[in-house]
Structure 1
Amino acid sequence: MEALENFKSIIDPNPALSHRFGVFFFAGGVFPNPIDFRFQKVSGLSAEIQTDTVNEGGQNLFAHRLPGKVNYNNLVLERGYSTSFVPSPLTQEFNIAFSAFKFAPSNVIVTLFHDFEGTSAPLGAWHFFKAYPVKWSVSDLDGESNTVLIDRMELAYTRFQSIRL
């Protein structure tokens, strides 16, 4: 019975909640963006290893499946359309990418927070390397709806790494 209690103290029986997170942009990989860190939704945190099939001569029961390259989905960020007088560096970066076709890749860290005895503490994070804008959209304008206008931004990146804190 004591072994079971020790095991319970090692393994956290409470899974992490997904609603406490922040998105941090580092221009040039160093300077943090102090304005753009609150988002309503983050998606696209996934990676998949592509496999190559190799058939062996005379072997008809199976084919060899060998690991190939890693494919990543775009990092998708959603937030309410900003009406602030303070200019958003992220919005400016998207404007430059889509109007002047100039890109300044930056590192992005998505951090998951956990409530630890009334204090919010980082629980884990995902580090996206050399992220740059690839898609930008705004939700539909609808005169019959009374919903928040959503800004949707997609970033491509070279790779990501999971960080456990």
Structure 2
Amino acid sequence: MEALESFKDFMDPNPVLSHRFGVTFFAGGVIPNPIDFRFQKVRGINTEVQLETISEGGQNLHRHHLPNQINYNNLILERGVVSPSVSRVSPTELLSPLNLEFNNTFSRFQFTPSNVLITLFKNDQGIPAASWLFLKAYPVKWSVSDLDATSNSVLIDTMELAYSRFQSIRL
């Protein structure tokens, strides 16, 4: 009974909220990108096992479902387009490494895979609750929300990445 009580003290009964997260891009797989980490929304953190269905001769009551391969959906990142104040930012900080990578992919058809770490935080102090590491991610789609003179909404940059696999890390 004492073990159960200590376990209850260890586990936080409050679920972690999904709005405290950070995205870290690692150029070359190891060097963190210090500029591109703020995103409004992240989608596509899921995977599934594709199954192959085999019917056994003479057996009409059931089929065998065998694992075939793993499928990963693309990782979709959304962020507001910002225009930094040139008086407060150095010229080197104006160049987003992520935008440069996307421009290089879509203008020159050159791909530079990087690792991406998405971290979910427990609270405002930045204590991690969970992370997902996406390996060998590269751009496959880039879009900007509609320009609309009748709307007063934030312009959204949507970036889509394919990747070779991901690992879920619970802390």
TM-score, normalised with respect to structure 2: 0.90
1:9 matched to which residue of 2? 9
Match of 2:122 in 1: 114
Q: Distance in 2 between matches of 1:5 and 1:142?
A: 57
User: 1:119 and 1:102 mapped to 2: Cα distance?
Assistant: 39
Deviation at 1:128, TM superposition (A): 0.1
Trace 1:91-106 onto structure 2 (pairs within 5 A): 91-106=99-114
Pair 1:135 & 2:141 matched: yes
Change (3 A) 1:106 1:67: same
Partner of 2:41: 41
Residue in 1 aligned with 2:97?
Answer: 89
Deviations 1:58-88 (A, max 9, x none): 1110010001101011000000013235110
Secondary structure at the residue paired with 1:103? Answer: coil
d(CA) in 2 for partners of 1:92 and 1:161?
26
Q: Tell me the distance in 2 between the aligned counterparts of 1:103 and 1:82.
A: 25
Report the Cα distance in structure 1 between the residues aligned to 2:141 and 2:154, rounded to whole angstroms: 20
In the TM superposition, residue 12 of structure 1 has moved relative to its aligned partner by: 2.3
Identity, in percent, stands at 66
CA separation in 2, counterparts of 1:82 and 1:102?
26
The match for 2:159 is 153
Q: Deviations over 1:19-55 (max 9, x none)?
A: 1111000011111100000000001000010000011
Higher strand share: 1
For 1:127 and 1:18, the matched residues in 2 are separated by: 17
Q: TM-score, normalised by structure 1?
A: 0.93
Q: Supply the distance in 1 between the matched residues of 2:30 and 2:132 (Cα, whole angstroms).
A: 16
Structure 2 unaligned runs (5+)? 87-93
Distance 2:80 2:9 in 1: 40
The structural deviation recorded for 1:11 is 3.1
Q: Superposition RMSD on alpha carbons, in Å? A: 1.5
